[in-house]
Amino acid sequence: MARLPVYLRALNSLLESEIRSCSSEELATAAGVNSAKLRKDLSHLGSYGTRGVGYDVEYLRYQISREIGLTQDWPVVIVGIGNLGHALANYSGFTSRGFRTVALLDADATRHGELVAGLKIRGFHELSAIVHEHGVAIGVIATPAAAAQSVCDEMVAAGIRSVLNFAPMVLSVPEGVDVRMVDLSSELQILAYHEQRKAPLHPEAAPTGTAGVA
């Protein structure tokens, strides 16, 4: 379920507010979903609530973490340390919660040895050794589109079975390998699509000095 991480985030945010218990209604609001949907999703994991009372925040948080697999260690390797790879290496969401970046690889030899987020950039040819040494199961591709498929092939050859792809390029992988694509420009396009349909409401969006009505 793609919504579990959202619930987890909502639970963490409740914990920060020292809230120990909550109803499906409250949690649903915090997560931005319908309460019936939330209850159905959670009931799929097991019966972790108490009728008439609600859910224990800490307990539910642990159960969802366990379901997702965050109670174990996930070594990650990032390939392509350009602007985006650099940002990912420093992104706290990547280093927390069981994910641990064990290596940063780049094809550009002039950058090898450079320190990013406390790790030295290493050569792409070291991929296989690193994957085996650390038991890496998840690879992140932040290279240009042209390099993405061959990087992906190498990852798969090294034994990686889960790939997070930021390159604007559809990757083909063998059966049993998962790829998730994060396409930054698609997201903008989807916004533009909706925005275009709203626009008629403000026929003179008059860029000069007036966003709305003049």
Partner DNA sequence: TCATGTGAACATATTCACAGCT
Partner DNA sequence: AGCTGTGAATATGTTCACATGA
Does 25 participate in binding DNA (rule CB under 7 A)? yes
Residue 51 makes contact with DNA by CB under 7 A: yes
Residue 108 binds to a second copy (criterion: CB under 8 A): no
* 88 in contact with a second copy (CB under 8 A): yes
Long-range contacts of 127-133 (CB under 8 A, 24+ apart): 127/77, 127/79, 127/154, 127/155, 127/158, 128/154, 128/157, 128/158, 130/77, 130/102, 130/103, 130/105, 131/77, 131/155, 131/158, 131/159, 131/160, 132/158, 132/159
Shortest separation between residue 43's beta carbon and a second copy, angstroms: 17
Which partner from the list DNA, a second copy, none does 88 bind, CB cut-off 5 to 8 Å by kind?
A: a second copy
147 lies in the site for a second copy, by CB under 8 A:
no
* Binding span for a second copy by CB under 8 A among 20-28, 34-42, 44-52, 177-185: 177-185
What whole-number distance in Å separates Cα of residue 82 and Cα of residue 18? 39
Helices (H), 98-207: 127-134, 145-158, 184-198
H or E segment to which residue 45 belongs: helix 35-45
Of the candidates 71, 82, 70, the residue with the CA atom closest to the CA atom of residue 144: 82
Least Å from the CB of residue 39 to a second copy: 18
**Is 48 near DNA (CB under 7 A)?**
yes
Asked if residue 75 binds a second copy (CB under 8 A), the reply is yes
From candidates 28, 42, 103, 138, binder to a second copy by CB under 8 A: 138
Distance CA 135, CA 75 (A): 7
Q: Which does 15 bind (CB under 5 to 8 A by kind): a second copy, DNA, none?
A: none
Which residue, 56 or 126, has its beta carbon nearer to DNA? 56
49 three-class SS:
strand
Site for a second copy contains 153 (CB under 8 A):
no
Q: Residues in the site for DNA, rule: CB under 7 A?
A: 22-25, 33-37, 39-40, 42-43, 47-55
